Amino acid sequence: MNVIFNKILVILFIMGAGQNFGQSSQLKSMLEVYSIETGERKVIYEEKAHFEAPNWSPDGNFLILNQNGLLYRIKIDGSSKEQIDTGAAVRCNNDHGISPDGTMLAISNNDPIEGVESGTSRIYTLPLKGGTPQLVTLEYPSYWHGWSPGSDAVVYTASRNNNYDIYRISIQGGEEERLTNSPGLDDGPEYSPDGKYIYYNSMQSGKMEIWRMKPNGSENEQLTNDAYSNWFAHPSPDGKYFVFISYLEDQGDRHPPLKSVALRLYDLNTKEIKSLCLFLGGQGTINVPSWSPDSKHFAFVSYDNQ
C-alpha cells in the first residue's frame, strides 16, 4: 500500500466515510469501466435505481447486470439495455456469469420454496441468449461464483449444516464436491484461466483475506494480509493479475452495500498490490467476473446515495 493511498484513507475516515450509508430513493447506480493501461474510469451507463454485478461478454460487446430479480444485457457503449429471458427464474441475485466457451449463463435464483423465507438460492444454467433454466444444485442456499475452464463444472459458495464452504459440481448436476472445510466463511471461488488454482476469500486467518487453492481443495495459500476486508478476487484472462474489492473498515464476515471501498490489483508475478480507486460500493460492485476479454479493462458498479 503506497503512502499517498494511506493518507487518503485517513482523510476519508476523518470525514466519516466508513459510516453505514442507508439506501434512499435518490440512490444512483453507475456502471463503470476501468482501464488497466491508463488508470482512467469511465461511466458507460447509469440509473437512479439499484443494479449490480457486471459480467463482460467473451466477444467484448456487452455486459450483463442484475436488477430487481432480472438480468439485463447492456451494450458496451451503454446505448441500450435489454432484458434476458430467464424463464421462471425471476428472483435472480448478483451471482451470475458467462461460461468460458461463451454459450451458457449460470445464474443463482432465490427460488420460492414453501415454508422457507430466505436462503433459497439455487444455481441454474441457460443459453447465453436466454431460455429455460436448467437446475444444477438441488440443495440450497447455493451461490454461483465461477466456471471451470472447460465450461463443464461450476464452483460456488453454499451453506451446509450451518457452515458456508466452497463446492464444485458438474453442470449436469449430481453429487457436489466439498473443497473447503473451515469454521469461518469461505466465499467467492473462481478458477484461474489455466485451471491450476481456485481463488477465493476466507475468514481462515481470523479476518477476510484473499486465498487460493488447488482445484481439489489442497494447498491453501493466503495471498493478502492487511487492515482491510478483502473480497472477490477475479483473475484476468491473461493470468497476470487479479482485481479485488477492499472495505476500508473491517466488516468481519459481511460484505454490506454502500460502504467506502477500494478496488485493488494484485500482480501475480511480483505479488505487489496496487490501489486503483476509492468510491461508495461493496455488495453489488464486483461480486462476479467482469474482465474484458483482452485483460485491458474490467467493469464494476459504484453508487451515489446523495
Residues in the chain: 306
Q: How far is CA 261 from CA 84, 120, 286, in A?
A: 30, 28, 11
Whole-angstrom Cα distance, residue 50 to residue 22?
Answer: 13
Residue with cell 457436489: 176
110: which 3 cell numbers? 432465490
pLDDT score, position 25: 61
From residue 62, how far is each of 219, 278, 281 by CA, in Å? 36, 25, 22
Contact 71, 28 (CB under 8 A): no
Enumerate residues 6+ apart whose C-beta is below 8 A from 297.
Answer: 33, 34, 35, 36, 56, 291
CATH number of 28-304: 2.120.10.30
C-alpha cell at 274: 496496487
* Cβ contacts of 19 within 8 Å, gap of 6 or more: none
Contacts of residue 65, Cβ cutoff 8 Å, sequence gap at least 6: 31, 51, 52, 53, 54, 71, 72, 74, 301
pLDDT of residue 283: 98
Question: From CA 98, how far away is CA 41, in angstroms rounded?
Answer: 24
**How far is 58 from 95, CA to CA, in rounded Å?**
18
pLDDT in tens, 194-220: 999 999 999 999 999 999 999 999 999
- Pairing relationship of beta strands 259-267 and 273-281 according to DSSP bridges: antiparallel
φ, ψ for residue 222 (rounded to 5)? -80, 130
Residue at grid coordinates 482485481:
243
User: What is residue 7's three-state secondary structure?
Assistant: helix
Residues of the chain where predicted confidence (pLDDT) is lower than 50: 1-24
Tell me, what's the pLDDT at 306?
78
Q: Where in the chain are the domains?
A: 28-304
Read off the C-alpha cell for 273: 498490490
Model's pTM, two decimal places?
0.92
* Separation of alpha carbons 196 and 235, rounded Å: 12
Q: Please, which residues have CB within 8 angstroms of residue 239's CB and are 6 or more apart in sequence?
A: 192, 193, 194, 268
Cβ(213)–Cβ(222) below 8 Å: no
Question: Cβ neighbours of residue 181 under 8 Å, at least 6 residues apart?
Answer: 165
Report how far Cα 294 is from the mean position of its chain's Cα atoms. 19
